[in-house]
Structure formats: structure tokens, C-alpha cells
Amino acid sequence: MGHAVGLGEISTYSALNQPLNAQIEMVSTSPDEVGGITVKLAPESVFEQVGITRSPVLNHLRFKPAVVNGTPVIKVSSDRPIQEPFVNFIVEVSWPKG
């Protein structure tokens, strides 16, 4: 049986020139499944396929699956302040068996 995850809205809790603090809601995913999910920034080849420039600032993003108030989310953070007003990124979400 294959798994599928949908990604909902991103909510940002940080301001410009602060380390990024955001969450992306995972839809079609139960809270019990979150522990086996891994999330990472997509490789540059995926960015090229869809015509998005991969900004160097993306190297500082961290992704962590979590359950917040009963809702599966991907926590997105950075280890340094983000100075760009908009950041486009693509994530890969996977389970241990694909």
C-alpha cells in the first residue's frame, strides 16, 4: 500500500530579518504516521525541472515533522535570520519504505 501526503497552507510566525519559524499543515496524514515521516529540501534537479531558482538561503532551512494541537505539520526553521521577503522552496516528504 502506498502512502500519500498532501501539504496545506504554510503559516509563518517570524518576521523579516529573524530566523524562520513556520509550519506547513500535512493533510491526508494521521498524527500516528508523523513519527515515520522524513522531510528534506528537494535536490537542485527538482528545482530546475519546475523552473524555480534554488536560493542559497535554502541551505539554512530545517524541516521537522511534528504534531501540533493534534494536527500533523512540518515545522520549518532556519539557523540564521532570513533577509529575503519571499522564499520559494520545494520539500520531499517520504516514509521509511518509500
Q: What is the reported pLDDT for 92? A: 94
- Domain residues for the domain of 64 are 6-94
Per the structure, how many domains does the chain have? 1
pTM over 0.75: yes
Q: What is the pLDDT of residues 69-89, one digit of tens each?
A: 999 999 999 999 999 999 999
How many CB atoms are closer than 10 A to CB 17? 10
Distance spanning both ends of the chain, measured CA to CA: 10
Whole-angstrom distance, CA of residue 31 vs CA of residue 71? 7
Q: Which residues contact 97 (CB under 8 A, 6 or more apart)?
A: none
Residue 45 lies in a domain: yes
Asked if residue 55 belongs to a domain, the reply is: yes
Cα 27 from Cα 47, distance rounded (Å): 23
Is residue 60 a part of any domain in this protein?
yes
- The pLDDT of residue 4 is above 90: no
Would residue 23 count as lying in a domain?
A: yes
> Using CA atoms, how far apart are residues 49 and 63, in angstroms rounded to an integer?
22
In a domain, 1, yes or no: no
Residue 40 lies in a domain: yes
Q: Is residue 42 part of a domain?
A: yes
pLDDT tens for 7-38 read 999 999 999 999 999 999 999 888 988 988 99
